[in-house]
Chains A and B, each alone.
Chain A
Amino acid sequence: SQKIEQNSEALNIQEGKTATLTCNYTNYSPAYLQWYRQDPGRGPVFLLLIRENEKEKRKERLKVTFDTTLKQSLFHITASQPADSATYLCALDNTGGFKTIFGAGTRLFVKA
């Protein structure tokens, strides 16, 4: 069956450290993968998109990798800050139609 999995356990890290979140998928062949941030009571906000032929993408303190062999994307936040505390969702395109498949998200807590 098709699955997109993110760690359901919250990630707790200390301010200043690098946070690494994982997104694994099964039985998909996505051409694109996206990462979103969602704060409590708010809608998801787009952060980064990475294409299948890109190994790595960066935006300020954010870095995303995409390994189509391992079927995995890693999302890194360097020099993390308490303001980075949120839920982070990965999403991939289902090349069979107009459907983006979302993971359930990983909650990140950054402690001062």
Chain B
Amino acid sequence: NAGVTQTPKFRVLKTGQSMTLLCAQDMNHEYMYWYRQDPGMGLRLIHYSVGEGTTAKGEVPDGYNVSRLKKQNFLLGLESAAPSQTSVYFCASTRSGGQSNQPQHFGDGTRLSIL
């Protein structure tokens, strides 16, 4: 089992460019999440999904969109990248039933730089 796989691992964009980050999990988990991690700050939730075809906003959703067309995949899109979106992006999944008593399984992140 690969667990949670994120692609790409690194990317450099110019301001205004768009891109999509892909997250795939092979654990048949219902819930998936996108976080960003910045120096000195905790992981911040961008968007999450409680099942195929559903998405919801997290703490810092502005400038991002997501889609969950298939249960195993959760895509994070940046329509017009800004330098403030330079960060490390992590995808996570949980089996079911909300986050609070479920261990989260994380991918190894996408390091994104916006110039």
Which of A36, A98, A103 has its CB near the most chain B CB atoms (within 10 A)?
A98
B104 & A100 in contact (Cβ 8 Å cutoff): yes
* Interface: B34 (CB within 8 A): no
CB neighbours (8 Å) of B45 from chain A are 99-100
Interface residues of B (CB under 8 A from A): 4, 31, 35, 40-45, 48, 50, 56, 58-59, 90, 92, 98-101, 103-109
**Given the complex of chains A and B, what is the CA–CA distance between A44 and B94 in angstroms?**
13
When A and B form their complex, which 4 residue pairs have the shortest distance between CB atoms, in order from nearest? A93-B100, A43-B106, A102-B42, A46-B103
- When A8-B40, A46-B105, A105-B42 are in contact, do A100 and B90 touch as well, CB less than 8 Å? no
Interface of A is mostly: strand
A42 & B100 in contact (Cβ 8 Å cutoff): no
B100 & A32 in contact (Cβ 8 Å cutoff): yes
Interface residues on A, range: 20 to 34
- When A44-B104, A89-B42 are in contact, do A99 and B59 touch as well, CB less than 8 Å? yes
**Given the complex of chains A and B, what is the CA–CA distance between A105 and B38 in angstroms?**
11
**Given the complex of chains A and B, what is the CA–CA distance between A4 and B42 in angstroms?**
9
Knowing that A44-B90, A46-B104, A98-B56 touch, tell me 12 more A-B residue pairs with CB under 8 angstroms: A4-B42, A42-B108, A43-B90, A44-B106, A51-B101, A93-B99, A98-B31, A99-B45, A100-B45, A101-B42, A102-B35, A103-B42
B101 & A32 in contact (Cβ 8 Å cutoff): yes
**Given the complex of chains A and B, what is the CA–CA distance between A91 and B43 in angstroms?**
9
